[in-house]
Amino acid sequence: MSYPEPRYFGETGEHSGTFDLSGRAPDLSMGEGGTKVHYLATGGSTNGAYGLYRWDMSARPSGPGAHFHRTMTESFYVLSGTIRLFNGDKWADGKPGDFLFLPEGGVHSFRNESGEPASMLILFTPGAPREAYFEELAEIATTGRELTPEEWTELYLRHDQYMV
């Protein structure tokens, strides 16, 4: 393994870092009283390097069914509470400090079934435009719009989400 090819060619460095300070409102709410999502670093803001999101789950059960991605890896780091993590083989109760990495094609899922709020970081590499997917799911949850199986399949395909 070696370092990737350079992406910055300046001689002195730049003053280009960005802060995302705690206490700000979430960027997205998944339905009334549901998960709150903070866009910490999007694929657009990292020049496609990665996307990092804080996922603050409410006490009510939530989380996607088992799925995989063809174009990106996904990682989970539990910050608080208990989040059920699925690595494609078995479920584990993720506690603060627990980490799960899935390479491209790795079947996975997560759920908050604890009855208590829980929080985690989700990291995608490279930085795909996951915000559009999250925002579409939030719109569906907020409006109560019902999708046909064909519409769900089309939504998933547009966002590199392959349900198993």
Q: Where do the domains of the chain lie?
A: 28-163
- Which of 54, 19, 21 is CA-nearest to residue 36? 54
- Which of 108, 104, 47 is CA-nearest to residue 70? 104
pTM for the whole structure = 0.93
pLDDT attached to residue 33: 86
Residue type, 14: E
Burial code (b: 16+ CB inside 10 Å, e: under 16) for 65-92 equals: eebbbeebbbbbbbeebbbbbbeeeeee
- Which of 85, 18, 89, 92 is CA-nearest to residue 55? 85
- Which of 163, 101, 158, 153 is CA-nearest to residue 129? 158
Q: Which CATH architecture has domain 28-163?
A: Sandwich (2.60)
Instruction: Write the pLDDT tens digit of every residue in 124-163.
Output: 999 999 999 999 999 999 999 999 999 999 999 999 999 9
More confident residue, 21 or 87: 87
> Percent of the chain scored above 70 by pLDDT?
100
